[in-house]
Structure 1
Amino acid sequence: MSKTRRITCLAAAASVIALAAAACGAPEEDGDDRGALPDDATDCANYEQYGDLEGETVSIMGSILDAEADEMQEAWSYFESCTGATIEYEGTAQFEADMKVRVDGGNAPDIALFPQPGLMSQFKDDLVPASDELSALATEGWTEDWLNYGTIDGTLYAAPNSSNAKSFIWYSPSFFADNGYEVPQTWDELIALSDTIAESGVTPWCAGFESGGATGWPGTDWIEDIVLREGTDVYDQWVSHEIPFNDPQIVTAIDKAGSILQNEDYIFNGTDTISTTAFQTAGHPILDGSCAFYRMASFYGAMWPEGTTVAEDGDVFAFRFPESNEGDNTMLVGGEFVAAFSDSEATEATRQFLASELYHNSRLQTGPWSTARQGVDPANATTPINQFATEILTDPAVTVRFDGSDLMPGEVGASSFWTGMVEWADGAKDSQQMADDIENSWP
């Protein structure tokens, strides 16, 4: 299960109803409420390049569910009504398992939205490489860092879709203003501010690793953020297993995370509650001043209680996880990639549209979402946190690295790394023992 979509997977109880209600074609003229879409997205002249696709159907499969699936389909609804194509979207909370069943059974979707580049690479022999036209769109739209994750053995197979900024720390702007605190720019400043807050009688940090069958994954993000800030070379070597998981540099990074997560003076309700505190609500004590910080990705903006103002001058907002090395400008990211199992004309046209600036600008306006697609206007995002994330993600000066556990083999990234973080948080294993066990699990 990919971390980029666990937020929707965990809320999937009503997904069947939501997906059944989602329209695949253009809605009826009466009551058409798609005013959120930009004018150019509703002008059929902008779809003429994709040709006449009347009667053609393109199936898309992904892990996106519920309201987010509705918002995604709204963003491509005029592509359907203007070209005549029908896009049939199927969302599943068991994407990884379902994809294998579908492909092995000769029933692959035309397009799959892969949240894990590592998973996508397992289907290389069945995928259709990007055409010259799609490759040109992808090169125009994304930095080399992003394109590398859609590339397998030197061939581009998939352009990115959504993008999440993961290196975020949530806080209360009013708490900072009332106490004269400034957003820390370095790790040392972060620790110094945590000490100051602890001395004032407020617990600096909230933390929660509980996530049902995926319990532990929020802890992996901590380690990934810290390793990335030790150096991109180290991060790349670690993720690809060019250096072992228990390399001294990685153990040091785990210990560094422990200076916060294993510090009894720092953690709200105590360190022994981390593995049993649900990540969805773990940050909420910020609202009543019970803790000051919560490390979680940009998608957490949708998980605050109803009525919470998420804005730079609101109840809560986020700042970037600080750098360890002066001059670094990094961001841990997640997202999906648009890969195809069909080379039909309609599939190719749909892939090109989903890689276009037009689609990404439209999708920004149909609901909370962020993208790394160059050329979009971040101001189109529907929330301040998604605007902030898109500003960062579309900045070519920012060095991005994809979520490490989503790139590692499933036996590690979606198993031993998760369980290792729980054992470490519970105090059952120290950093070296955890790293040794995970290294021994590497296939």
Structure 2
Amino acid sequence: MSVPTARPRPAAALAASLPLLLVASGCGYLAGESGQGLDPDSAACEPFQEWQGISGTVDIYASIRAEEGQRMQRAWQDFTDCTDIDIQYEGSGEFEAQIQVKVDGGNAPDIAFFPQPGLLTRFAEDGEALPLPDEVRQRAEEGWTDDWLDYARTDGELYGTPLGANVKSLVWYSPEVFDDNGYEIPQTWSEMTDLSDRMVDDGITPWCAGIESGEATGWPATDWLENVMLREHGPEVYDQWVNHEIPFDDPKVADALERVDTILRDGDYVNGGHGGVKSIVTTSSQDAGLPVLDKECGMHMQGSFYAANWPEDTDVSEDGEVFAFNLPPIGEDGENPVLGGGEFTAAFADRPEVVAVQEYLATVDYADRRAAEGAWFSAHRDLDLDGLDNPNDRYSAELLRSPDTVMRWDGSDNMPAAVGAGTFWRGMTNWINGDDTEKTLTYVEDSWPD
């Protein structure tokens, strides 16, 4: 999926609508020649000594854009300064569609960042993505648990290394609005519904939402259904659904979508700051939650990565202008599931400079540097949590690391690409626009590849 990015509000829509082509090399991360920023023999270059002497240009293609893309490139800038490797990065809001076009046209990037394991699997099965070289595989196995790595395995071979991580079950809110009105963080779904009703009585529209994302329009609505499936029916049934061991239009899925209906298609509940129910389809995923900051809506459900979309001077903390809590459980068993996601780094070329970049991106050094840029964290087992000065990142990372957390990967990202990055998105878009539950789920079920 396309990851929201941080921009001041007047520029947000423009920044999100334009592909971002930036070159991470040399003195600055936008342009320059390798080695101009740092002396390769300096102490600052010691972390990169093993890759010095390797030269070349490496093309990377991903969906990460605007401010988020710039932060990412700043994190690897010292690597490019200290080696003879230039990284040319292109971020696109049409990644899911265009990566296939690039590969089919013989113009595959050297490396791509895949937010959908199902999409990576397709390229692996077709023999286009390459298995990890031994040195990269070893770093991956040292850095991440099998729970993460298994999402990038095909026929026993590892094709990707995890990059960023995110929690996709966060509900963003204004601590000030909660404090002023005596609202408490809901601990159950029922309490959340009661809170929504109370907001309506207080003249506050409880929810704001937006699912417009170019060719990826619809993905935020799939997160709603996935979260409810995980909470209402548990991880075992959730896994069966994602793996198509039960049909997409199983009655359990219908029950879950009807529960989503009680929020996303309730005219009293949505769409604060944007319009009515159908405005959800035309509101960009980047802009969707901004009315929380303006106190025009009470809550917005989207991933931890949405932190990058608040204006840069926003105080994101428990006592700040905006913060988040995990979407509460539906049952009374005390189990609080977490929907998660992230990206995997996979290669279409095996030149030495490409392998070197793959290796570096799999190190905790890169993870710590990227985390220091803000609005990001990794599931790398050695990530320095003290380096996460953003309270939301710390909260999310600790949530994923908790032994009590039941975590499942974003379902649409792990389904066959034709479904997870296709009919599921379109089906949920049409559902917001008025299609009934049966028609929506049957449409997706009928599209499932044999």
TM-score, length of structure 1 as denominator length: 0.86
- Tell me the secondary structure at the aligned position of residue 325 of structure 2: strand
2:139 and 2:72 map into 1 onto residues whose CA distance is: 20
1:256 and 1:109 map into 2 onto residues whose CA distance is: 41
1:211 and 1:88 map into 2 onto residues whose CA distance is: 24
- Kindly provide the CA deviation profile for residues 143-166 of structure 1, in whole angstroms up to 9, marking residues without a partner as x: 332111111122211111112221
Q: How does 1:288-307 map to 2 (within 5 A)?
A: 288-305=294-311, 307=313
Q: Which of 13, 22, 26 in structure 1 is aligned with 2:30?
A: 22
Of the structure 1 ranges 250-259 and 2-11, higher mean CA displacement relative to structure 2 is found in 2-11
- Kindly provide the CA deviation profile for residues 69-100 of structure 1, in whole angstroms up to 9, marking residues without a partner as x: 33222222222333433333333443344433
Q: How does 1:25-424 map to 2 (within 5 A)?
A: 26=34, 28-29=36-37, 43-48=44-49, 50-124=50-124, 125-229=127-231, 230-267=233-270, 268=272, 269-305=275-311, 307-325=313-331, 326-381=333-388, 383-395=390-402, 397-424=404-431
Of the structure 1 ranges 349-358 and 200-209, higher mean CA displacement relative to structure 2 is found in 200-209
Partner amino acid, structure 1, of 2:189: W
- Kindly state the Cα deviation for residue 24 of structure 1 after the two structures are TM-superposed: 6.8
Pick closer, same or farther for the CA change 1:176–1:79 going to 2, 3 Å: same
Q: Is the 8 A contact 1:5 1:115 kept in 2?
A: no
1:248 and 1:237 map into 2 onto residues whose CA distance is: 13
When the two chains are superposed, the root-mean-square deviation of aligned CA atoms in Å is 2.9
Q: Is the 8 A contact 1:9 1:93 kept in 2?
A: no
Pick closer, same or farther for the CA change 1:71–1:257 going to 2, 3 Å: same
1:85 and 1:11 map into 2 onto residues whose CA distance is: 28
2:282 and 2:298 map into 1 onto residues whose CA distance is: 20
- Kindly provide the CA deviation profile for residues 53-80 of structure 1, in whole angstroms up to 9, marking residues without a partner as x: 3434333232323333332222222223
1:183 and 1:266 map into 2 onto residues whose CA distance is: 17
Q: Is the 8 A contact 1:53 1:346 kept in 2?
A: no
Unaligned runs of 5+ in 2: 7-11
Of the structure 1 ranges 249-258 and 376-385, higher mean CA displacement relative to structure 2 is found in 376-385
Pick closer, same or farther for the CA change 1:363–1:285 going to 2, 3 Å: closer
Q: Is the 8 A contact 1:55 1:84 kept in 2?
A: yes
1:295 and 1:12 map into 2 onto residues whose CA distance is: 19
- Tell me the secondary structure at the aligned position of residue 43 of structure 1: helix
Q: Is the 8 A contact 1:406 1:414 kept in 2?
A: yes
2:167 and 2:32 map into 1 onto residues whose CA distance is: 29
Provide the aligned length of Structure 1 versus Structure 2.
430
Partner amino acid, structure 1, of 2:277: T
Pick closer, same or farther for the CA change 1:209–1:123 going to 2, 3 Å: closer
Of the structure 1 ranges 232-241 and 379-388, higher mean CA displacement relative to structure 2 is found in 379-388
TM-score, length of structure 2 as denominator length: 0.85
Partner amino acid, structure 1, of 2:185: V
2:13 and 2:145 map into 1 onto residues whose CA distance is: 29
